[in-house]
A and B are shown apart, each in its own frame.
Chain A
């Protein structure tokens, strides 16, 4: 019984690592721009495909990580800075912007579907003997995925707390007008945020396909609800909150899978979201009803 619990918690941490990478990127971008960016799932898939193409052409799987990040960055910057900013300049409100991102996300998905002919591609990069940690059995892939998640979290925290651009980003997320008044080059910070968010999104796509060992045009889209839930649960703009929320969701879903019917695992994760939102509504939309889109 205890073995099962320990295994479920360990597997929950692995799942949380994947969710957290994406949720950190999502929440930073959402916290700063106030755009609920539903293209995120599609961009994750783009990152995953960049890694897949690199590896299938002979590159090392490690190269897949920076390539996926780069693909995510470029795509997100193009969509965010090149397209969404124009909508913001026209005074598009938060809900309308969400619908715009939904539409763009579908365009990305359908484009990927057309390009891939709806095929599922394999991405098996590491096959080796499992590691026994007492009663818990994990694979080297899972250990690597968890390490990547932890490394990205620590790196992101350091970036936000110790660097000038990180501090500027936090200042802008707290109060864009004041940050602008203090001389922060807000446009530059917004561009940096799109790049950073896109890089994390692309990385999440790569880590996702490393773990699931396959990629299809809907891979990121199917994962998106978990990412948004974790980002909302953790509080907009809070990477550490996103990590904590990812851990909660990951462990809850895996424990439910281990002890009950796996069909209820995802429902349990979202049930947790509903309970937390009811009891701690401050975790949601920390910007409240603010309709300003800090994109320009």
Chain B
């Protein structure tokens, strides 16, 4: 066991070192004022079953660091990435983060944490006064008072409401929910249930799946007996592959609406394999954070991913429209511009500038790239960073999320755009009872 732990630690260390090398220069022990390298820590699952979270992050944060460094860095300081592996498990995440805090010089920001470890890690980072751009959908953070918590990502409840709105638009009147019992998969379920109730759409079956069982036949049978017209779902990839494969074999397959988390390569690979490509393309829809229209911010993001493709996980093209990666990109840009606006690399100083450089306001100049933002700030202007995810408008709980988009699978890396659910539509649903 000890050997295994050592092996795991060695693996994590190797990955972390690799990812660190993916940034520009390595961190030095000097002070920020001596133009030393600033560290951006990625607190995310780098290994283990949820390692795709780390890949999603690398797909956005590494190009962001590349673009900022190419523009001269933050006030002359280069940025470097340091991977901190949570393995999507709070028990692994906590000591890893504590070690990071104890040993990392010039730490200016944390990218992450993700859903599973966020409830444990967010208070620790907040106490350490390190700004974080979390990609955690837990509703507990909808009204957080942690000043260093920032979320450019829709809360799970909003994603659930968007799914219900899409079902209503498509005319479905009998909905089944199929969600994994792991905490990461459960996040959207309360939003789905409450939103369906608010829209008077019957939830005819609510099936829980214990992950990674060899068969889900009885659950499949229960689902079929309820005769749903559509299934709303999230579970890990293996579980989904087995469940939907059995559902198809027993002749019970109906259209599937997945959460944002289902629009990831492992999930799509597993379920597409189980259903067959043509059936999957016909029956699968996912609700994801709507990408911005083709602005200069999107172009800058795409150019950076392309230019930094050697560092980005393979296939690098898949991150061009990965909503998680784009969110990390925008989070990094906001923090970097906040440092420039505050003329400080001290997180306790620049943290309150994050909202100032991102939110719209009177007299602000809209900027789409880091270089544009720096130039405007040097000219003494107030700026609004308009991100690759679109408009960023943090509320007083440091949450910002925009429209959601229904997308399908095209068979290639580019999704098929099916429709938009606007933030206003989501807010208009009188959802109650979501914790």
Please report A residues at the B interface, Cβ cutoff 8 Å. 4, 7-8, 11, 14-15, 18-19, 99, 102-103, 106-107, 110, 118-122, 124, 127, 129-130, 137-139, 141-142, 208, 211-214, 216, 218-219, 222-223, 226, 254-255, 257-258, 261-263, 265-266
How far, in whole Å, are A268 and B169 apart by their CA atoms in the complex? 40
- Kindly provide the distance from the CB of B306 to the nearest chain A CB, expressed in whole angstroms: 23
Q: Which of B1-31 contact A (CB under 8 A)?
A: 1, 3-4, 7-8, 11
Q: Please determine whether B207 and A213 come into contact, CB atoms closer than 8 angstroms.
A: no
Q: Known: A213-B245, A214-B241, A254-B218. Contact between A262 and B274, CB under 8 A? A: no
Q: Identify whether the interface residues of B are mostly helix, strand, loop, or mixed.
A: helix
Q: Which of B217-232 contact A (CB under 8 A)?
A: 217-219, 221-222, 225
Also in contact, A262 and B7, with CB within 8 A (given A120-B241, A130-B250): no
A122 contacts which of B49, B208, B269 (Cβ < 8 Å)?
Answer: B269
Q: Mark B200-238, 1 if CB is under 8 A from A, else 0.
A: 000000011110111111110110010000000000011
Bound CA–CA A214/B181 (angstroms) = 20
- State whether A258 touches B249 (Cβ < 8 A): no
- Closest residue of B by beta carbon distance from A139: B249
Complex Cα distance, B28 from A213, in Å, reads 49
Over the window 27-69 of chain B, the binary record of Cβ atoms lying under 8 Å from chain A Cβ atoms (1 yes, 0 no) is 0000000000000000000011101000000000000000000
Contact across chains for B215 and A11 when beta carbons are under 8 A apart: yes
Given A102-B1, A137-B250, A139-B249, is A266 in contact with B213 using a C-beta cutoff of 8 Å? yes
B contact residues around A106 at 8 Å (CB): 1, 3-4, 7
- With most chain A CB atoms within 10 A of its CB, the pick from B209, B215, B248 is B215
* Min C-beta distance of A159 to chain B, whole Å: 26
B270 at interface, CB cutoff 8 A: yes
Of B48, B245, B269, B270, the most chain A CB neighbours within 10 A belong to: B245
Chain A residue nearest in CB terms to B219:
A262
Which residues of chain A have C-beta atoms less than 8 A from B221's C-beta?
Answer: 4, 7-8, 11, 137, 258
B249 to chain A: closest residue by CB: A139
User: For the complex, what is the distance from the CA of A121 to the CA of B266, rounded to whole Å?
Assistant: 9
**Contact of B251 with A by CB under 8 A:** yes
- Asked if B411 lies at the interface with its beta carbon under 8 angstroms from chain A, I say no
Closest to A217 in B: B49
A211 contacts which of B210, B214, B272 (Cβ < 8 Å)? B214
> In chain B between 78 and 106, which residues have their CB closer than 8 angstroms to a CB of chain A?
none
Q: Is the CB of B273 closer than 8 A to any CB of chain A? A: yes
Question: A262 and B238: CB pair below 8 A?
Answer: no
Q: Which residues of A contact B270 (CB under 8 A)?
A: 120, 122, 214
Whole-angstrom distance from the CB of B9 to the nearest CB of chain A?
12
Residue of chain B at shortest CB distance from A265: B210
B161 at the interface (CB under 8 A from A): no
CA distance A222 to B211 in the complex (A): 9
B251 to chain A, nearest CB (A): 5
Q: Please list 16 pairs of residues, one from A and one from B, whose beta carbons are closer than 8 Å in the complex, sorted by A's number.
A: A7-B217, A14-B215, A120-B241, A122-B270, A122-B272, A122-B273, A127-B248, A139-B246, A211-B242, A212-B215, A213-B241, A214-B242, A218-B49, A226-B214, A258-B218, A262-B209
In the bound complex, residues from chain A placing their C-beta under 8 Å from that of B241 are: 120, 122, 212-214
Given known pairs A124-B245, A139-B249, A212-B242, the reply for A119 and B266 (CB within 8 Å) is yes
Distance A8 CA – B242 CA, assembled complex (angstroms): 17
- A214-B250 contact given A119-B266, A208-B214, A258-B221, CB 8 Å threshold: no
A124:B3 contact, CB within 8 angstroms:
no
- Structural contact, B274 and A124, CB atoms closer than 8 A: yes
Chain B residues whose C-beta falls within 8 Å of the C-beta of A261 in the assembled complex: 208
The 10 closest A-B pairs by CB, nearest first: A122-B273, A11-B217, A257-B218, A106-B4, A258-B218, A139-B249, A213-B245, A214-B241, A222-B212, A212-B242
B217 in contact with A120 (CB, 8 Å)? no
- Residue of A with least CB distance to B221: A7
- Which residues in A have their C-beta under 8 angstroms from that of B272? 122
